[in-house]
Each structure stands twice: as C-alpha cells, then as structure tokens.
Amino acid sequence: MPELPEVETTKRGISPYIIGKRVKQINILFPTLRWPIEPSLPDILAKQTLHNIERRGKYLVLDFAVGTLLIHLGMSGSLRVLNTPGPRKKHDHFEIVFSDKHILRLHDPRRFGAVIWCENDWREHALIKHLGPEPLSDAFNGFYLHQQARNKTVAIKNFVMNSKIVVGVGNIYASESLFLAGINPKTITRKVSKQRCIKLADTIKQVLAHAIEQGGTTLKDFTNAEGEPGYFALQLNVYGREGEPCPVCQRPIKHCIIGQRATYYCSHCQR
C-alpha cells in the first residue's frame, strides 16, 4: 500500500513534468473509485494551468486557479507521467493530458483511491480538515506528542497511527519506529513519559525521512509506463520478521495483533 513516503516520492517524481503546464484534456476512463470522479471535471479543468503540487498526509494536492484536485492512491493506486499515450491498461482510471502532450495517468486495480474536486479551500474539506500535523514538520515533536498522549488509554501503536494525532504513520512505520524508540507497542499511551515521547517523535521523523530518501533512489522512473507501482522495499528491523532474531539482542521477534493490525516487536528491547 502506498504510504506517506511513496506519496511524497510520487509528488517529487511527477512534479517536474507537469507543474506550470496547461491542461488540454481530462479523460475519465473508469470513474468508479472510492467515490465517483466528478463528471464535469473535463469542462472545469480544460485550459487550466497546474500551478503547484503539494502533499498533505497521503493526499496529493493539485492546485489550479479554479480549485484543487485531491488525489489519493488508496490501497493500490499509482501515477505515471507519459509522453506518448501508448496503450492503456486495465484499471487505468483517470488521465490529465497537458498541452505539451505529457499525460498524468492514474492506475488503481483495487479502486480504493480517490480523485476529488474541491472548488473551495481544500484545507477545509472533510477529509483534510481534521488531519493532525505532518510528521516531518516542526509542529510534530515530542512535546506535542506528549501533550496529546495525556489521558489516552489506547495502545501507543494505535495512537501514533491515528491520523488526527499525526498523519502518515502507517502500520509498518509504526512498528519500526516503536522498535527504534525502544517502546513496547502495547504500552498504554498515557504511560509513555515525555522523554520517551520525544524519542518516539524523533524516531518517526527519521524512519519516514529515510524511507523518502530510499524511495528517491530506488523508485522506478515515473515516466516509464511499464514500471511497477513505486512501492519500495524497505530494510525492516522487525516488521514481518516474526521468529527471526532481533537485530539488537538476537532474541526472537514477536508478533501480536493491535487494533486489528499485525504488529511486530522485540519484548526485550521494547519496554
């Protein structure tokens, strides 16, 4: 599943080809995504210039003078920039054709992705408004995390995966960050000390920044139509490694379910 680092890498990969370009045509090939694609988009965006692309959480935010297009990659979505149309594939849902002939094409086999048109301020959109801070921003830090943690009785792993607390900490990144911070994922959130919250916030930043960096070097070319979706293989310490030796203490890594999600940890290194 594309997580924050993949979405950030996608943003960086596609931006140089399409920012500042004028839309020639919008093709809605298969409107069924998580929500149907707005049918009047071809009229709305014709001849509009794409001013900028931002990322907020796992949303790509495409900025036009007349409004904003939010794109979410869901479980299996990927974006490509093509310079010739070439044959379309099954599960290609949506295209923006620019006047210089570059095409941004959304492919999504499982259809949990979304293409959402916002006429008004996108920051006020119901999907965006309640999102917590960006993990790599200064607004997210140990003091903030500790303040939010007070009175919370959920497991710390659920807490950091809650997008109202902080965006973009998916299941794998939560397990890995808690391992590196030495915190047992089952720990009741309000019992995590300020010092450990500081360590955890720093670790989350490191893990995500490292994944983005890795993505930038290992990801396939965004202009290659045949490329696999850009979900990168990370070097993982604990995730998916039940029974294997902990990279620090060599004791077997444990597996449990927290909030219905697979969780991996070392009961010796994580207290």
Give the residue with the Cβ less far from Zn ion, 25 or 187.
Answer: 187
Residue nearest to Zn ion (CB): 246
Choosing from 22, 101, 194, 268, the residue that interacts with Zn ion (CB under 5 A) is: 268
Is residue 183 a contact residue for Zn ion (CB under 5 A)?
no
Least distance to Zn ion, CB of residue 236, Å: 14
**Is 256 strand, coil or helix?**
strand
Instruction: Identify the helix (H) or strand (E) that includes residue 121.
Output: none
What secondary structure letter does DSSP report for 220?
P
Catalytic hit among 3, 8, 38, 95: 3
Give the residue with the Cβ less far from Zn ion, 165 or 266.
Answer: 266
List, as one string, the DSSP characters of 37-74: PPTTHHHHHTT-B--EEEEETTEEEEEETTEEEEEE-T
Distance of CA 59 to the CA centre of its chain: 7
Least distance to Zn ion, CB of residue 15, Å: 40
User: Which 191-230 positions form the footprint of Zn ion (CB under 5 A)?
Assistant: none
**Is 137 strand, coil or helix?**
coil
Give the residue with the Cβ less far from Zn ion, 248 or 256.
Answer: 248
All residues at 6 or more sequence positions from 190 whose CB lies less than 8 Å from its CB, including other chains: 149, 150, 151, 152, 153
* Whether residue 2 lies in the annotated active site: yes
Number of residues located near Zn ion, criterion CB under 5 A? 6
Q: How far apart are CA 121 and CA 255, in angstroms?
A: 43
Type of residue found at 30:
F
Q: How far apart are CA 262 and CA 7, in angstroms?
A: 22
Type of residue found at 256:
C
Give the residue with the Cβ less far from Zn ion, 171 or 270.
Answer: 270
Is residue 1 a contact residue for Zn ion (CB under 5 A)?
no
β-partners of residue 30 are: none
* Whether residue 3 lies in the annotated active site: yes
Is residue 271 a contact residue for Zn ion (CB under 5 A)?
no
Give the residue with the Cβ less far from Zn ion, 217 or 235.
Answer: 235
User: Which 224-263 positions form the footprint of Zn ion (CB under 5 A)?
Assistant: 246, 248-249
Least distance to Zn ion, CB of residue 200, Å: 17
Catalytic hit among 11, 24, 111, 261: 261
Is residue 118 a contact residue for Zn ion (CB under 5 A)?
no
What distance separates the 2 farthest-apart alpha carbons in the chain?
A: 61
Catalytic hit among 55, 58, 196, 254: 58
- Tell me which residues touch Zn ion (CB under 5 A): 246, 248-249, 266, 268-269
Residues serving a catalytic function are 2-3, 58, 261
